[in-house]
C-alpha cells in the first residue's frame, strides 16, 4: 500500500514536483511559474516571440508558456483529460492525475490510479498506486481508517480490516467485545469466571468482581457474594465465622476448626494441647509437639 507520508500536502504548485513529501523546483525550471507570454528559459522567465505560444514551436530546447507543454516540438495544451501532463507532472482539473505514459487520466475510481495525495473515492483505498475495494474483511482499510462493518476494525495488527470482538481478537470500535469477553489492552479476553477479568459492568458469572478481577466469594475470609455467605456471616463485606473458631460457640456436632482448639463443656471453642491446657482429645498427638508435653489427668504437662 502506498505510504501517504510521502505525499505532499498541500499539493505542489506547477512546476514544482513532490519528492519524499517535499515540494522541489526541478533544475532549470521557474518557480513560481511564468505568467502571460513569458517562457521559462534555463530557470528564468523571458518574453519570447515566434515560439512558446499555443501551436508555436517550442522555444529552445523545450520552453512553452505556462499552461502549455512541448509535445512533438510544438507547444500544446496540457493538463486536461487525455492531454499531456503539464510541467511538474501536473494536471489542471480535479479527478485527474499524471500518468507517465497516458498523460492526464481519471483517478480515484475503482481500478484507476490514486489521485494526488494517494486519495481514492468513497469505499476505496490506495493500494500500490491503484484504487481498490476497501473496508471488507482482509481488505485494505479505507482512506479514513474505517471498515465496512461494526465487527471489523482497522489495523489490529496490520493496515487491513480484521474481524474483532471475539476472544483473542482486537477490540471493536468503542472498546467493544462479544458477550463473555472484555476489552483489555486492545484485545478481547474471556471474562466472568474465577481468575478472569470482570465483564462489562463489573459482572462475574462466578464469584465477585474485586479490583477488576473475578474472585471467589462466600467462604470464610472471602468477600461476601452479594451480601451473603455460604459459610459464616457477611460482616463489612467479608465472610466471617460465627462458630468453630477460638472464642466462638462450637459448630454443629461440637466441631472446632482452628488448630489446637476443641469444644468445651460450655459449648465454646477453647485452646487445647498447650502447657497446662486441656489435652486435645480426638487428635494425635494429644499435646502440642516440640514442648515435651504429655497428657496427664486430662491436662498437658511437662
Mean of pLDDT over the chain: 88
pLDDT tens for 57-71 read 998 778 888 889 998
Q: How far apart are CA 234 and CA 184, in angstroms?
A: 32
**216, pLDDT greater than 90:** yes
Quick one: pLDDT at residue 97?
93
Quick one: pLDDT at residue 120?
87
**297, pLDDT greater than 80:** yes
**229, pLDDT greater than 70:** yes
pLDDT tens for 156-209 read 567 889 999 999 999 999 999 998 899 988 999 999 999 999 998 899 999 999
**4, pLDDT greater than 70:** no
| Alpha-carbon distances of 229 from 71, 216, 222, 235, 244, rounded to whole Å | 91, 11, 9, 10, 16
SS3 content of the chain, % helix, strand, coil (to 5): 0, 35, 65
Q: Which residues pair with 81 in a beta bridge?
A: none
**2, pLDDT greater than 60:** no
pLDDT tens for 247-269 read 999 988 888 888 899 998 889 99
Report the relative pairing of strands 261-263 and 269-271 from DSSP bridges.
Answer: antiparallel
Q: How far apart are CA 117 and CA 287, in angstroms?
A: 88
- On whether the CB atoms of residues 64 and 47 are closer than 8 A, the answer is no
Higher-confidence position of 162 and 122: 162
Quick one: pLDDT at residue 3?
39
**21, pLDDT greater than 90:** no
Quick one: pLDDT at residue 12?
80
Mean pLDDT of all residues in 18-39: 86
**9, pLDDT greater than 80:** no
Quick one: pLDDT at residue 6?
54
Q: Answer yes or no: pTM beyond 0.85.
A: no
According to DSSP, residue 210 is labeled: E
Amino acid at each position: 500500500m502506498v505510504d501517504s507520508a510521502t505525499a505532499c500536502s498541500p499539493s505542489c504548485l506547477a512546476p514544482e514536483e513532490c519528492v519524499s513529501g517535499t515540494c522541489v523546483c526541478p533544475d532549470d525550471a521557474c518557480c513560481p511559474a511564468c505568467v502571460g507570454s513569458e517562457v521559462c528559459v534555463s530557470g528564468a522567465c523571458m518574453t519570447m516571440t515566434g515560439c512558446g505560444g499555443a501551436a508555436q514551436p517550442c522555444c529552445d530546447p523545450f520552453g512553452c508558456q505556462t499552461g502549455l507543454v512541448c509535445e512533438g516540438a510544438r507547444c500544446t495544451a496540457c493538463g486536461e483529460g487525455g492531454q499531456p501532463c503539464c510541467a511538474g507532472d501536473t494536471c489542471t482539473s480535479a479527478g485527474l492525475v499524471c500518468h507517465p505514459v497516458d498523460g492526464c487520466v481519471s483517478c480515484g475510481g475503482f481500478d484507476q490510479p490514486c489521485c494526488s495525495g494517494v486519495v481514492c473515492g468513497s469505499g476505496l483505498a490506495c493500494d500500490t498506486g491503484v484504487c481498490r475495494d476497501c473496508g471488507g474483511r482482509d481488505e485494505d482499510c479505507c482512506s479514513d481508517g474505517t471498515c465496512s462493518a461494526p465487527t471489523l476494525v482497522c489495523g489490529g495488527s496490520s493496515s487491513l480490516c480484521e474481524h474483532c470482538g471475539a476472544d483473542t481478537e482486537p477490540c471493536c470500535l468503542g472498546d467493544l467485545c462479544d458477550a463473555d469477553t472484555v476489552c483489555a489492552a486492545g484485545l478481547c479476553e474471556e471474562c466472568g469466571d474465577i481468575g478472569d477479568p470482570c465483564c462489562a459492568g463489573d459482572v462475574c458469572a462466578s464469584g465477585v468482581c474485586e479490583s477488576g478481577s473475578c474472585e471467589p466469594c462466600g467462604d470464610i475470609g472471602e468477600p461476601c457474594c452479594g451480601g451473603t455467605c455460604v459459610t459464616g456471616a457477611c460482616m463489612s463485606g467479608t465472610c466471617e465465622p460465627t462458630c468453630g473458631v477460638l472464642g466462638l460457640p462450637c459448630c454443629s456436632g461440637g466441631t472446632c476448626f482452628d488448630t489446637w482448639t476443641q469444644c468445651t463443656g460450655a459449648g465454646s471453642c477453647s485452646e487445647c494441647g498447650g502447657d497446662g491446657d486441656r489435652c486435645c482429645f480426638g487428635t494425635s498427638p494429644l499435646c502440642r509437639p516440640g514442648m515435651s508435653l504429655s497428657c496427664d489427668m486430662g491436662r498437658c504437662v511437662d
